[in-house]
């Protein structure tokens, strides 16, 4: 029943994405505090549709959504929702965007779904049961060196002036000829690590709804997810490193600035 509700909620959100996509009259606004932190009427419509499905099935469950915020209860279950991950892509008519929903039970990620409707890709994972793309089991890549890896990252809307920040790390890789992509959707980044398309993903500043579903997909596909210090990952802290596992320790070293000699 939980898995069915998760799928139905993701599909309800995706229906709103399809309805509003490439609509020239799409209403948009910017969130306070970020130069290009965009929100659209489609975000709100998808959020309402997703929460409606969940609340119809489980009216007492805790909700954490990017657009609604906390709908707090004392339930052991928490649904963590990003109605559109990749909002700028969506508003620009770029089809790399998705619905992302994670489900926690007593603080442990239980299930996750990421639906990218314009790519026709539905990702699903349940703790201990593997990761799937359109009902086909997926696995991480087997590449074992950062120098030969294909990486993906993202950049925060509000830049943090700190050593080893996003630009410094990015420069470190590209100066050595390592391909680093920037898709504009952390949830899809994580799914593509899980599917073996990327070998690793790192980002300095994410929110829980950005990674709640995707990090479970990576782990269930055989990968490794930690913070920048190599500690067990929690979506409630900002920094994430997700890899196929084979390059994980080496990638952490690169992110610390411990770059091997050319």
Residue 82 annotated among the catalytic residues of the structure = yes
- To which H or E segment does residue 167 belong? helix 166-174
Q: What is the Cα–Cα distance from 203 to 78, expressed in whole angstroms? A: 24
Residue 84 annotated among the catalytic residues of the structure = yes
Residue 40 annotated among the catalytic residues of the structure = no
DSSP classification of residue 53:
H
The residue from 43, 47, 67, 82 that is catalytic is 82
The residue from 47, 210, 220, 250 that is catalytic is 210
Residue 135 annotated among the catalytic residues of the structure = no
The residue from 50, 81, 84, 247 that is catalytic is 84
Nearest to 124, CA basis, from 242, 132, 196: 132
The residue from 40, 87, 224, 226 that is catalytic is 87
Residue 160 annotated among the catalytic residues of the structure = no
Q: What are phi and psi of 111, to 5 degrees?
A: -145, 160
State the CB neighbour count (10 A cutoff) for residue 1: 7
Q: What is the Cα–Cα distance from 57 to 157, expressed in whole angstroms? A: 35
The residue from 40, 43, 54, 66 that is catalytic is 66
What are the tokens at 54?
A: 């969940």
Residue 43 annotated among the catalytic residues of the structure = no
Q: How far is CA 82 from the centre of its chain?
A: 9
- To which H or E segment does residue 60 belong? none
Q: What is the CA radius of gyration of the chain?
A: 18
The residue from 47, 67, 85, 126 that is catalytic is 85
Residues designated catalytic: 66, 82, 84-85, 87, 210
């Amino acid at each position: 029943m939980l898995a069915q509700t998760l799928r139905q909620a993701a599909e309800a959100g995706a229906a709103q994405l399809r309805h509003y996509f490439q609509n020239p009259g799409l209403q948009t606004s910017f969130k306070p505090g970020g130069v290009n932190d965009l929100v659209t009427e489609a975000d709100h419509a998808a959020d309402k549709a997703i929460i409606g499905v969940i609340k119809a099935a489980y009216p007492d469950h805790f909700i954490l959504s990017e657009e609604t915020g906390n709908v707090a209860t004392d339930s052991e279950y928490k649904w963590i929702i990003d109605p559109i991950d990749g909002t700028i892509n969506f508003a620009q008519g770029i089809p790399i965007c998705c619905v992302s929903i994670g489900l926690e039970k007593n603080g442990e990620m239980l299930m996750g779904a990421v639906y990218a409707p314009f790519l026709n890709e539905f990702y699903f994972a349940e703790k201990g049961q593997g990761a799937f793309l359109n009902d086909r089991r997926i696995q991480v890549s087997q590449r074992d060196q950062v120098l030969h890896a294909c990486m993906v990252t993202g950049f925060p809307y509000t830049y943090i002036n700190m050593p080893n920040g996003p630009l410094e790390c990015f420069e470190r890789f590209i100066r050595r000829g390592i391909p680093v992509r920037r898709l504009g959707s952390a949830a899809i980044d994580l799914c593509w690590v899980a599917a073996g398309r990327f070998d690793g993903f790192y980002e300095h500043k994410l929110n829980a709804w950005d990674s709640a579903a995707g990090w479970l997909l990576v782990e269930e596909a055989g990968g490794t997810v930690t913070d920048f210090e190599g500690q067990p990952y929690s979506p409630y802290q900002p920094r994430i490193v997700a890899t196929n596992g084979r390059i994980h320790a080496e990638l952490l070293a690169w992110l610390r600035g411990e770059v091997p000699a050319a």
